[in-house]
Amino acid sequence: MLTSETCMNKSCPVRRMPGGRPQAAGRRRAAFTLIELLTVISIIALLATLGAGLAGVASRKAKESAIKAELGKLTTAIENYKADLHQYPPDNAKDGRNLNPAVHPLYYELVGTFSTNNGNVYRTADRAEHVTATEIKNAFPGLGGFINSAVYPDKPRSYLRDLKPRQRREIRLPGANDIELLAVPVDWPRKLLDLSPLRNVTSDTRLREINPWHYVSTRPTNNTASFDLWAIWATGRVVDGTNELRVFGNWKQ
């Protein structure tokens, strides 16, 4: 006798799960769903990788554009200075030789300064910074003051306005505690401080993260009749086993 619980005949119908599907078919369906899930996970991982790569490219492009825009702005300011004062801003040179392209008085010359205390103290036109004649001499051995300077009530010319904090950075030098430098809008990476443009200027790791503009008006190499202005960008990429350093200059490359 057949009951609802047992069947001794091999020809008995296959027991169906609720919903009418045989158990074997249900197991096959579960296995297929797992494969689908793994496929979706793989696709998501691939898209995430592609997205990260595209984000990195976009970030590098944005930094490159910012550097190029700032290069153009500074180049124009320097040329305007030359048109008014009939010479290019001095660099950090002594006896006809540039001492350090990364440390120079370009910031002070382009924003303009007031000469006070009989030329012993110079204050920037916005009154935000001041530097003594002694500090100038210690920071820039070939200089004793600034050219684009005036004695109140006269005013110096201003070629750079509304600089953001990241565009002007303060460093400490021997005998000069507060020297302002024009800075590239992309900091130097911490993991490459041994390659920092300021590595031979300071041992302070925080200051080595400053990425200064390089400037030479004394016997420039590329623009022999004017000046060389350039930025060095450590992209963070390694190419052929070497850290990639890109140079953006005001000369034809």
Residue 169 burial class via C-beta count within 10 angstroms: exposed 0-12, middle 13-18, buried 19 and up = buried
Mean pLDDT of all residues belonging to the chain: 87
Q: pTM of the prediction?
A: 0.78
Cα separation, 136 vs 213, in Å, equals 18
pLDDT one-digit tens code per residue, 131-149: 999 999 999 999 999 999 9
Q: Is the pLDDT of residue 6 over 50?
A: no
Return the DSSP state at 4.
Answer: S
Which residue, 7, 198, 179, is CA-closest to 105?
Answer: 179
Q: Tokens representing 202?
A: 């300071």
Q: Tokens representing 90?
A: 């001095």
How is the chain split into domains, by residue range? 55-249
Per-residue pLDDT, 5: 46
pLDDT one-digit tens code per residue, 28-71: 555 557 787 788 788 887 777 766 666 566 788 999 999 999 99
Question: 211-239: buried (b, 16+ CB within 10 Å) or exposed (e) per residue?
Answer: bbbbbbbbebeeeeebbbbbbbbbeeeee
